[in-house]
Amino acid sequence: MKDIDILEKRIGYVFLDKQLLQEAMTHSTYANLHGGRDNERLEYLGDAVLQFIVTERQYATTLEDEGTLTKRRQEMVCEEALLDAVEEMGISPWLRYEGSLQNVGKKTLSSLYESVLAAVYLDGGMVAAKDFVQRHPTQEKKPVNYKGELQEFLQSRGLTPPVYRDEERKEGFDSVVDADGKTGRGHAKSKRAAEQLAAKELLGRLKMEKKGRR
């Protein structure tokens, strides 16, 4: 692997066993064609290591209940959060694969975080792994407030506020929102979530109509 020293600088860790790092950056398409190990086993281990590090940090720094902690942890280890961290490190050019990168997909790129973390853990232990996560933290994704965005969109155009109609059902809530002669619908387990989905749909329609008028 070329320029491995540059890759290590981006990761923030110098490997004793360079083979571990090479394995962490090897996709199955490359290994199937050229031989050697792919990074799937490292990804599996890295997932568990990351879960532990995040959970331990949560336990030590917050008194939130188990349900809240679980939801927050899921946000921090989801594909989107890992992909952002990988892009921030700038390590994807070192991924060894065959074929089109589009065929590899975002899941493969995001999993580099877990495979590299596992490689760091195996090479340097838990202290090195925790340092890696601290150096390259994964961030919680704040939910988009579509109701607020819809309200701002309408106000900026001098239009009347949206009107919501909600109906409770056995499996959750149905929500309908009307504004500017258009309608959006949403269904979710809570009324709040259903209204957010309805606002998201209506906002999308209003923005599409705006583009069509240009």
Active site residues: 47, 114
Q: Do residues 102 and 94 touch, judged by C-beta distance below 8 A?
A: no
Phi and psi angles of residue 84, each rounded to the nearest 5 degrees, phi first: -60, -40
Question: How far apart (Å, rounded) are the C-alpha atoms in residues 164 and 155?
Answer: 16
Q: How many CB atoms lie within 10 A of CB 98?
A: 14
Strand (E) or helix (H) holding 172: strand 172-179
Question: How far apart (Å, rounded) are the C-alpha atoms in residues 96 and 94?
Answer: 6
